[in-house]
Structure 1
Amino acid sequence: MANPNAGIMLTLLAEANEAARYLKYQNAFLRRIYWDNQPIVGVPYQTLTVVIPQVNEGAVVDIGTGPIQPVDYSYSTVNVTLSMNLSVTNVFKDFDQARTPRRLRDFFQSNFEALLRAINRRVVGYLTPANFGNYSLFTGDGTASNQITRGDITTAWTNLAAVGVPLDDTRNVSLMLTTPSYGYMLQDQTFMYQYITGEQQAQDIQQRAMLRTQYGAEIYYDQMMPNFNAGHQGAALLHRYAIAGVTARSPAGGPNVEEGVVYLNGDDEETQEVGGMDGSNSLTEGQPTGIPVRIQASYSQNDQGWVVSMNALVGVAVARPEMCTLFQSAS
């Protein structure tokens, strides 16, 4: 007997994938921390281990003409709990016009955005002076409200460079700003004059090119970037490994539930695509990167409609506190 759910599930996955690919958002922290997408089926509150290689200069020896002297490689581990099983569920009634493919896409897009914001907000919650206390939170030298100056960024850069954070790694180093500070920087002449190219779209390019060349960092704004004290705009210069997130596939549902997986927020810098979708339960190295969101659908006689749920199984923890320095504007 044919599965009565198959038709609706194919429509759901097709429209979910379309929405995922064209979703626009500014949840910048999700793209700028380290994600360990573990190829396992996880359960809520399971603890997973993230392995971080370490530099061990003591393992380097002068063997002269003698034999090699192998030693175990050096690494540290960070235990991250899958502490978030974030879910959003809708009922699409039999008589509801929202069941049309175009309307489903609109609903999916808002639900994906809600999930990404929820995860991003929890990542941002780790950005506190207590979690990143290797360097003192310092206040900048700007003379205008919301201003982050070149001197402020240089002080932050010096903090990280002194301990060996690889600051020439532009794919992994970020300057994170609040929207007011980013907006001020766009018109700050001390940043702009020598980089004006005459192109209307150059503002963002100028900022990123300057920071790549001088500080090795990409610049991002995030609406959730916290302020550490009243009357000051928060900022952070960090390497991707400062914060680690883990994801895992959710367990399979029951026999009467159709399901598939959409990957959100993939980090393919070359294409800037959000990722792909795999409707199977296979786990291979070829699967797309990103946060796996399970989509389940089943018909509910009680609700007289299709119950469609999305959930993401995620954990986040501070991994390398020495790779992030926090600071704030003077006012």
Structure 2
Amino acid sequence: MKSVAVIVVPGFSIFEFGTAFEVFGIDRSEREGGVPKFDFRVCTPQPGDVPMKSGLSMHVGLGLEAASDADLVIMAPYGRDLDVPEEVLETLRAAHERGAWVLSICSGAYALARAGLLDGRRCTTHWHYSQDLASRYPRARVDENVLYVQDGTIITSAGTASGIDACLHLVRVELGAKVAAAIARDMVVAPHRDGGQAQFIDRPMPSCGSAPMEALLRWMVENLDQEHSIAELAERLHMSPRTFARRFRAETGATPAAWLNSQRVLRAQELLETSDLNIDEVAREAGFGHSVLMRHHFAKVLDTSPQSYRRAFRGQLAEVG
């Protein structure tokens, strides 16, 4: 992989564009041993001043022909509701057909989807857009819980800094872990981040149509360290266990056990971010009882471990158990 072309269209996001430039656009060949100099190009359908989402503009002197022989074509994000010229879609299709890498950052996935490149493929985008992307392009297999996805020679990434993760992943695949680590070290970022964007999605306690049920949910949150049987919860609302279980799922979309576990994960996240409790203490405070069970649910819900989550969100910490 020697040449990289980034496609920008009016309304593109400067930060996400900058993540691709930081990885591929800076010549590190002299100061970082083994890192090649990439032929980095920026192109657009109509060369000239291209307005950004921020209100600024960038002068782009190259047309889409600059992407015609690139080893990697990157689609910069531009927002989900803006039209992309057909010639951009044709450029993306042509790149894929000749075997080049095609990578999107954040909402750039919409262009890949419009070009048909995500049909039948696993992919991702920013979690704000994931359900909309899946609705508009039902043949795409959208996963909102990952930072990036590689499916064949197509890579899609989630929002903002996950563009760095995706680009470094591709460097690792093409040029090896040593080169990827050298670029990451120069950028002062991690060569690889654990987990996925599920860690960053705020899922607050939902409001319910029923005031008694909402009051019960709040009581459950205040007593996460207790065991809650369906029979006990049903008695609080003066319902039979069967009626309660049906009503609970109808109003929350989950079983009582699944809902409790999701709230315990949220509580554990809060404690890992804001307290110096060790892992066993966090597990008890959050209602898991012991750390083994908490690790299981972190892996299932967040695709990471409590220790990795704390490192990502707290930095240098007191020693944890």
TM-score > 0.5, shorter chain as reference = no
**TM bracket (short chain):** under 0.3
Compute the TM-score of the two structures, normalised by the length of structure 1.
Answer: 0.22
Higher strand share: 1
Higher relative contact order (CA 8 A, sep 6+): 1
**How does the TM-score come out when normalised to structure 2?**
0.23
